[in-house]
Chain A
Amino acid sequence: MSAHDHANEQDHGHEHEHHHKDTFITKYIFSIDHKMIAKQYLITGLIMGIIGVAMSLLFRMQLAWPEESFKIFNVLLGDTFAPDGVMRNDIYLALVTIHGTIMVFFVLTAGLSGTFSNLLIPLQIGARDMASGFMNMISYWLFFLSSVIMVCSLFVESGPASAGWTIYPPLSALPQAIPGSGTGMTLWLVSMAIFIASSLMGSLNYVVTVINLRTKGMSMTRLPLTIWAFFVTAIIGIVSFPVLLSAALLLIFDRSFGTSFFLSDIYIAGEVLHYQGGSPVLFEHLFWFLGHPEVYIVLLPALGITSEIIATNSRKPIFGYRAMIASIIAIAFLSTIVWGHHMFVSGMNPFLGSVFTFTTLLIAIPSAVKAFNYITTLWKGNLQMNPAMLFSIGLVSTFITGGLTGIILGDSTLDINVHDTYFVVAHFHLVMGISALYGMFAGIYHWFPRMFGRMLNKNLGYVHFWVTAICAYGVFFPMHFIGMAGLPRRYYTNTAFPLFDDLQNVNVIITVFALVGGAFQLVFIWNFFHSMFYGEKSVQNPWRSNTLEWTAPVEHMHGNWPGEIPEVHRWPYDYSKPGHAEDFVSQIVPMGPDEKELHH
């Protein structure tokens, strides 16, 4: 550790010598300060989130009232995509595709992990900034660029990418197959390639920072669970994102240069195409080698945030700190060897199906450990019901509800019949969509004072949480049932099948909940932007938390702490420890003469 501290001090000295004035551009735009970059990630993520959620509301309206025409379709989608207020069927698919892409990558990967890894890693491990501030800046701006390209693709005349967020070829490769696979798909691929570059730079930075720049005394077993989650998430990202990049590049080759990696024996629009020898199943493997770990890239940071918030607001140590770390690592490892459960009926060898069933169901064990540890942390706590805490409890609830149905989907035998039905949609929206979103909200409510020096309004927070919680269940709980009735996903309308007529009222219920829930997110958006400028000024440690970020001054400064970086003497979860006057003991408080550390 001494070398690092030495380096830190040198940094610090450096800081003092050149105390350069920030211009507007270096402070707010091309900033290399991790706190500013975190805010940039967050705000970009929120804007993308508004677009993504709005799209889901549009296609939910289409599903609930397939025979109606809506002026709002025409207003928002324009005359080409929704003539006379009737959404075109390929535009429905485009909305589904872009909703998925934006929510998974732009909101819940970059918006969640990008924001909180950047904000918290240096502040919670006691570093002056990321290992490479410059690379961090590039990472954000590549993310911004990819967001811009993705949004631009919405305005292509032939429509944005429409082959589903999984972009399986040949549908995604052939403009003859669906109009969105023309320019829209090209932009999608370019945007994702840039996004992956951004994500990799971010992840490398997080890993290096956590390994090298921890302050004195901050051993790996004294790290807050947030940092553990971000650290492991970054590693999964480094392992799996390049594989998606390779898939995207090969797809670009197939589309533009006539290679046949994923295409073979295709007759479309009255002619035989020259492709021969490729296989879409190969693409599925490459895609899901990222696609499944991606679920955990989205979820683990949310779980890390929740661990921290539940412990702080329960005024109790997180239960089973080491088991929590072990389960994060176990989940991360298993997540890289379960991708085949998305492909049980893809035509791959059924023997592989057996293997992937086995590995998939194993993931339930560390997940169960996490869920029970959260519940035990609440037990005999002194729960402070701040909005962040509500969202964290909500996360545990949706994580359980959504996770349990994974037992059905992970079982190849049962997956045969519910694969690609609304059962899957309900499952993954609860377990990774809503859970991760709750994690993101929890993080925002909890660390808003750290980001902006002001507090979010708690009463708006309560309204936001309770309406969101009810609507989330209202949307996704009944959805399991229409899935079990065999309704396939990605159908523009179900009216072609009288068989499903009795499910139409369920679809209406779901859409009403979705519209109400979506509308109430405006309460949050209002709270966010209003409090940013007019919220109550925050005290230094509003939640009376142990971790290092609350020892830094409220006003942001380069290098985070004036003077020395604080030294760490204990783990971050000494809440309500007997023998202390307060119910929290900051990590920088030295051990008393008779005090024993729990783990070390």
Chain B
Amino acid sequence: MTSLLVIIVLVFVSVAIWQLTKIFDLTQIGDNAENYQVANDNDNSVNGYLMFAFLVFIYLTTIYCVVKFGHFPLMSNPASEHGVEVDRLMWISMILIFFVQTVTQALLHYFAFKYRGKKGNTALYFADNNKLEAIWSIIPAITLAGLILYGLYAWTNIMFVDEETENPMVVEIYAKQFGWEVRYAGKDNVLGKANVRYIEGINTLGVDLADPNAQDDIQASELHLPKGTKVVFKIRSQDVLHSAYMPHFRAQMNCVPGMVTQFAFTPTVTTVDMRNSKAMIEKVDAINKIRTEKSKELVAKGLEALDPYTFDYLLLCNKICGKSHYNMQMKIVVESPEDFKKWLGGQTTLVQNIKAQEQPVEADKATIDTATVVKDSTVIVQVVK
């Protein structure tokens, strides 16, 4: 029934358009009998005014968007040290862009309005002017030179990490369809070697258990970071490309199978402090208002209400990686160095976990089938080699 209605409406609309054009055409035949699909003075005038109106429309859209959606969450409240620099550069670029946009759109649409054609008018024969060309090559060149230099300065500071002198804490971010895992390097601050070929059982990261550096590695499913400590992330992927995106820290790096990529930053605001910041309280309130409204609808339909939202830093996947790409996330907790130490101290190392798991299993298996265990252990030996 609805499809039929839609079809009928479509038919009516097309008939209406057809009729309208017929009427338009008939009214214009008198004007310029030969060539009436070419713009006449009336068309020029109407469209000239519309051009001006369109300029107003662009400005209004801009203002509306800035006021309504322009909380610029990625341009304020950075939670990392280099984020301050990134945001400053972003603001400079944005202001520049808005300025140029406002001026050039004004010129374009105003000229389109002002010089709308009229019979009898003559255009100015003005084909070239080297001075003008020079002006609008040199001004952008100088402006861009400034932006490039600032950008490259910031980029170099962010991307080139001297691990010898800065001694950052090493953390592995591990991506797979469709989740994240992290591995802390432990006391030695060196990650044990790893390769997907070592993946077995709860050793989901494929850590080489024979590597001495791997003995104190800690695997976790939540990323905890100490405030004020530089962290270098060693990023791996198990299957396809992913991208470790931490927008609040202005950090992103792809996860590439077969390769270790890296990104480093110093978190500067703890989760609790961020939750208590004025901007964040407002944002969370606004979101919760939306969620309560939605919950009402859901409850009316007999479904479950939504949980209220509390802010947490997130690690998102930002490179198309498959079906559930849209829900590949991990919570990030930034806390004081003391809290972090406490948390990390409460975690058991990967090697401990594996041993704890193997013993009961092996004991179990031994009673059932000794042959399998023998086979299994040879496999482990081969892998470890």
Contact = CB atoms under 8 A, between A and B. Distances in A.
Given A264-B258, A419-B318, A539 B238 contact: no
B259 interface: yes
Interface stretch (A30-38, A145-153, A200-208, A369-377): A369-377
B257 A417 contact: no
Given A267-B239, A401-B101, A536-B36, A486 B247 contact: yes
Given A364-B144, A383-B112, A417-B252, A498 B325 contact: no
A473 B309 contact: no
B327 A496 contact: yes
Interface string B142-172: 0010011001101110111000000000000
A553 interface: no
Given A71-B2, A357-B151, A378 B257 contact: no
Contacts, number: 402
Contacts of A90: 322-323
A343 B77 CA distance: 26
B123 A583 contact: yes
B89 A380 contact: no
A239 interface: no
A291 interface: no
Contacts of B48: 383, 385
B47 A381 contact: no
Contact of A89 (B96, B196, B243, B323): B323
A83 interface: no
B292 to A, nearest CB: 11
Contacts of B283: 502
Contacts of B129: 319-320
A455 B37 contact: yes
A536 B38 CA distance: 11
B330 interface: no
Given A268-B239, A481-B70, A280 B196 contact: no
A460 B24 CA distance: 10
A561 interface: no
Given A316-B125, A484-B74, A490-B320, A382 B118 contact: yes
B155 A420 contact: no
Interface stretch (B57-65, B340-348, B355-363): B57-65
A196 B17 CA distance: 40
A321 interface: yes
Interface string B245-271: 101001111101111010000000000
Contacts of A382: 115, 117-118, 121-123
Contact of A488 (B39, B51, B144, B316): B316
A332 interface: no
Contacts of B47: 385, 390, 462
A177 B178 CA distance: 11
A322 B136 CA distance: 15
B89 to A, nearest CB: 6
B291 A542 contact: no
B309 to A, nearest CB: 4
Interface in B266-314: 283, 286-287, 290-291, 306-307, 309, 311, 314
A474 B197 CA distance: 50
Nearest to B53: A466
B239 A266 contact: yes
A481 B90 CA distance: 14
Contacts of B43: 385-386, 458, 462
B372 to A, nearest CB: 19
A486 B74 contact: yes
A3 interface: no
B239 to A, nearest CB: 4
Given A280-B256, A535-B37, A177 B155 contact: no
Given A171-B241, A358-B148, A458-B43, A576 B38 contact: no
B44 interface: yes
A174 B257 CA distance: 13
B257 A263 contact: yes
Contact of B123 (A315, A345, A401, A599): A315
Given A279-B256, A492-B326, A484 B159 contact: no
Interface stretch (B103-111, B181-189, B207-215, B218-226): B103-111
Nearest to B250: A417
Contact of A457 (B37, B104, B133, B324): B37
A346 B256 contact: yes
23 contacts: A89-B326, A168-B241, A170-B257, A171-B241, A178-B322, A266-B257, A316-B123, A365-B137, A369-B133, A369-B137, A371-B104, A380-B123, A404-B100, A412-B155, A417-B250, A420-B319, A459-B25, A470-B57, A485-B69, A488-B317, A535-B37, A542-B37, A575-B123
Interface of B: 2-3, 14, 17-18, 20-21, 24-25, 34-39, 43-44, 46-48, 50-51, 54, 57-58, 61-62, 65, 69-75, 85-86, 89-90, 93-94, 96-97, 100-101, 104-105, 107-109, 111-112, 115-118, 121-129, 132-133, 136-137, 140-141, 144, 147-148, 151-152, 154-156, 158-160, 176-177, 195-197, 199, 206, 235, 238-241, 243, 245, 247, 250-254, 256-259, 261, 283, 286-287, 290-291, 306-307, 309, 311, 314, 316-327, 329
Interface of A: 71, 75, 89-90, 93, 163-164, 168-171, 174, 177-178, 263-268, 272, 275-281, 314-323, 345-347, 350, 353-354, 357-358, 361-362, 364-365, 368-369, 371-376, 378-386, 389-390, 393, 396-397, 400-401, 404-405, 407-408, 411-414, 416-421, 455-460, 462, 466, 469-470, 473-474, 477-478, 480-482, 484-486, 488, 490-494, 496-499, 501-504, 506, 522-523, 526, 530, 535-536, 539, 542-543, 573, 575-578, 583, 598-599
Given A414-B89, A481-B69, A502-B287, 9 more contacts: A168-B320, A314-B115, A375-B111, A385-B116, A400-B105, A417-B90, A575-B123, A576-B122, A578-B125
